[in-house]
Amino acid sequence: MQSYTKPTRHRPADAASRIPEKDLDTASAAARDVSQTLLEAAADLQMSDFDIDFAGMLQTLAAAPLTGGGEAVQSRAAPAATSAQAVQASLAAIAASPLGSLAWRQVNAEAALRTAHTQDAAGAVHGALHGVATGLKDMFDYTGHAAQWGSLLRQHVPRSQRDATVVARLRAAGAIPLGMLHMSEFALSPTGLNDHLGPGRNPHDAERVSGGSSSGCGMAVGAGHVPLAIGSDTGGSIRLPAGFCGVVGLKPTQYRVSRAGAMPLAPSLDCIGPLACSVELCAAAFTVMAGPDPLDPQCLPVPAPTGQWRTLSAASLSVAVPHLPEDAPISADMRRALQCTVGLLKDRGVTCIPAKLPDMALLGKLNAILMAAESAALHRATLHQHPECYGGQVRRRILQGLFLDATSYYDALRLRTRLLHRFVAETLSGADACLLPTASGVAPLVSDTIAPTQDHVVAQVTYWTRSMNYLGVPALAVPAGTGEQRLPLSVQLIGPPLGEEYLFALGQLLET
């Protein structure tokens, strides 16, 4: 193993003197920690091991496409009521909810009702999401509105003149956008912390976090304001609020859903996906949003799924169940929930196979390198000019990237394909999905996430999620009973690249 020499910490040239020294110290220490791990993991990389086309490798290692096996049942996720009644019910729920004013940054009641009445007057089904009231994380271009990205820095940006691709596709399928939802500042807190707007709070216990960074999505769906919300996931930001708030959330395969018109955080890791009240609705929303987009050149040239997952029988499915060591960061309640989930799958006829747990700590730190480097590049100029406009936790996380060297970033990219191959070959080992916790247990207390130890809480909360962003594979968070104080627990089903349909089939087995 190569030795590691601790570098002398130099203040980055573009770190303004107004940035607190303690933030620079914390960021520098975090960068040294992940650099040490990277150096050890990359010790056997050769000069011939270069950064290859990761998007192409995702297609090479893709799950077998679903064909035949019976006629797919086409589902429409429309509400039983009229579109206008569905929107009015959502507006009433928001008004009556203690979390209504926190979860929603803006509610566009008049526009939503106009759209709903137009649908009802047409007298025909408009699409797969006809009449579904939908919330949008405040990071998407949305015609006539200015996305704030959870930041003070965007209070005066001009209103958007067009919809993000995912918003346009949702509208085309009949969904009715209701407004913009709370989010962590620049999507950089997995607990839902936002120093400017207040922390995301859990609909099951307001003293607990909602999870983030799609905090408003978790709150709005978990509290019953809307059945569907659209968020983003760079290290767990869909799955964590879904898990903590007791709903379903999908992080798709990397590059499978267009990011055109969406706020970037770390483009190598960013994914757009749905949080929903059911697996069926989550699948319907994903099907609408997925598919190539000329406005996003990185979007995979892979068509949206056809719904064949509904024809899969439980007996045809298999799940890899890794052994979790005794010292794994997981509560006793979560361990019992996993055991119960395995029992439920077996009872329904699914084959459960013992499997090797990937190195979650390593994968998480490699994710941290890509996220820190790419977010620092995007924010460097603004952070230099206005450091006081960033919350403390967000500022420290971005600063880490300024202390990373280019070789660390490139080595993290070079290792990505190797570790994806290893995950598919060793952990999935021919199974349709892998079963892991979404989080170590129930949602932590808000007070623990705003204390001096908050950076430790961030690392702990994302332990089970951020590795899958690094690998680029799809992951579906589904409810798995309750833990302490009857708060939601959640498991995630993780598939091979482009394996979302297998996850929907398994998720619906657990749901029913």
Q: Which residues are catalytic?
A: 137, 213, 237
Task: Give the chain's largest Cα–Cα span.
Answer: 71
Q: In what order do the strands lie in the sheet with 351-355?
A: 104-107, 176-181, 133-137, 228-233, 271-276, 248-251, 475-482, 488-494, 433-437, 318-322, 351-355
Q: Which residues contact 282 (CB under 8 A, 6 or more apart)?
A: 248, 249, 250, 274, 275, 276, 476, 504, 507
What sign for the dihedral angle of Cα 163, 164, 169, 174? Answer: negative
141 is written with which tokens? 């271009």
Closest-CA residue to 137 (of 238, 65, 48): 238
CA pair distance 92, 111, nearest whole angstrom? 16
CA separation, residue 497 to residues 248, 332, 424, 502 (Å):
19, 31, 9, 11
Beta strands 133-137; 228-233: pairing state: parallel
482 is written with which tokens? 């309750």
Residue 306: HSE in the Cβ half-sphere, 13 Å Cα cutoff: 11
CA pair distance 489, 441, nearest whole angstrom? 6
Q: Which residue has the tokens 């394996």?
A: 499
SS3 sequence of 180-231 = EECCCHHHCCCCCCCCCCCCCEECCEEEEECCCCCHHHHHHHHCCCCCEEEE
Element (H, E) at 55: helix 54-60
SS3 325: coil
Q: How many CB atoms lie within 10 A of CB 110?
A: 8
CB 84 within 8 A of CB 161: no
CA pair distance 318, 353, nearest whole angstrom? 7
Q: Rounded to a whole number, what is the distance in angstroms from the first to the last CA of the chain?
A: 50
CB 431 within 8 A of CB 319: yes
SS3 173: coil
CA pair distance 208, 197, nearest whole angstrom? 16
